[in-house]
Amino acid sequence: MPRKKLSDEELERVVKLRQMGNSWTGIQRATGIHRQRAQRAYGEWERNKTIEQLKEARKEVAAEEFRRHLNCLLKLAESLAHNLDIPSPSHHLIRSDEVLLTFWQRDIVGEYGVYGLPETAYRGIERYSSETCLRQNRILFTALKVHTREKVDWKILDQWQNLWDQCIRVQGELRKELEETLSNILKQKQDLKDRITKESGKEDVIQRMADGLLHGIWQGVLAGNAGQSPVVKTVSAGHQRVEVVFGGGHLSLQVFFSQNDLAKEVEGICHWAAKNLGIVRNEDIVGLVNDVREMRKAIGQLTEMLNPLVLRPLILGTWCDLCPV
């Protein structure tokens, strides 16, 4: 026959007396409950209390871990949205997977620590390696996709990558054709080529001219002007020096000359090459304008979907393998 448990009132009295320092014999005299029975009931009460305290402590730890997990996901999403870009010649024509690899290798959620510890825990320690950051960020990205699979269309990121690679491919072809055109022009003017090389002090002057023209063409693409001839002009640099400038604002090419006439000849050659390229590859340049328009649309859609105000309630209402129990 199972032992009868103490009533709530009896247990409360036993606990109170014991915590006041009474012996088990004294508790027996005061309550009429056998000392062994009172001792067993008190021991069970203490074990249950310890278990409840442990549960509460674990709840606090889990809540803190989930807050850190939430903040890491939000920071990753925000950083990804802010780093989606439009390719330009200044990117050295690298593919989208290389762009994303560089992004994933960064310490994106550094203020939370690679291992989930506060940043202060790592003071004086060498920063995390790119491999460590890459592993962490890819794990977090997988978790982010699990949390957002119902609301975020991640195919848009694939679309952005495809458009980026398309732009890079066409830019590479345009650059190669510009170099060939400039090289062919200067082959017919060997004396001019020698003068340009000597005056500028640049052996790679054809490549630099091609880079400058591509930069100017790309500025037109970004502005939505497929047929616009790139800006190429001669500008005084002071102290009897002139330079050829490509595009507006940013000086993508700085080749200095002491003779204004020579700089003007370089300018003319570049206009000639750009005009020839526009005639031959105008369809490709129009395609670039459309690709850039679609890339901006994709970036805008992802930025909107990855907004913290949208993501926070979504993450709170979903579950991934990294979420603390």
The DSSP element (H or E) to which 257 belongs, if any, is: strand 255-257
Say what the pLDDT of residue 76 is: 94
- 30-39, 199-208, 214-223: least confident range: 199-208
Spatial distance between the Cα atoms of 77 and 140, rounded to a whole number of angstroms = 10
Instruction: Provide the token pair at 319.
Output: 């579950």
CB 262 within 8 A of CB 193: no
Spatial distance between the Cα atoms of 214 and 274, rounded to a whole number of angstroms = 9
Give the CA count within 13 Å in the CB-facing half-sphere of 16: 8
CB 89 within 8 A of CB 247: no
Instruction: State pTM to two decimals.
Output: 0.74
Residue type, 35: R
CB 128 within 8 A of CB 158: no
Pairwise pLDDT comparison (181 vs 91), residue with the higher score: 181
If pLDDT is split at 50, 70 and 90, which confidence band does 129 have? Answer: confident
Spatial distance between the Cα atoms of 115 and 128, rounded to a whole number of angstroms = 10
**Beta strand segments in 149-251, E:** 232-236, 242-246
Q: Say yes or no to pLDDT of 54 above 50.
A: yes
CB 200 within 8 A of CB 228: no
Q: Give which of 140, 77, 129 is closest to 106, Cα–Cα.
A: 129
Q: Say yes or no to pLDDT of 199 above 90.
A: no
Give exposure, 12-22, as e/b (b: 16+ Cβ within 10 Å).
Answer: ebbbebbeeeb
Q: What is the pLDDT of residues 289-324, one digit of tens each?
A: 999 999 999 999 999 999 999 999 999 999 999 888
Spatial distance between the Cα atoms of 226 and 286, rounded to a whole number of angstroms = 5
Q: What is the pLDDT of residues 64-77, one digit of tens each?
A: 889 889 999 999 99
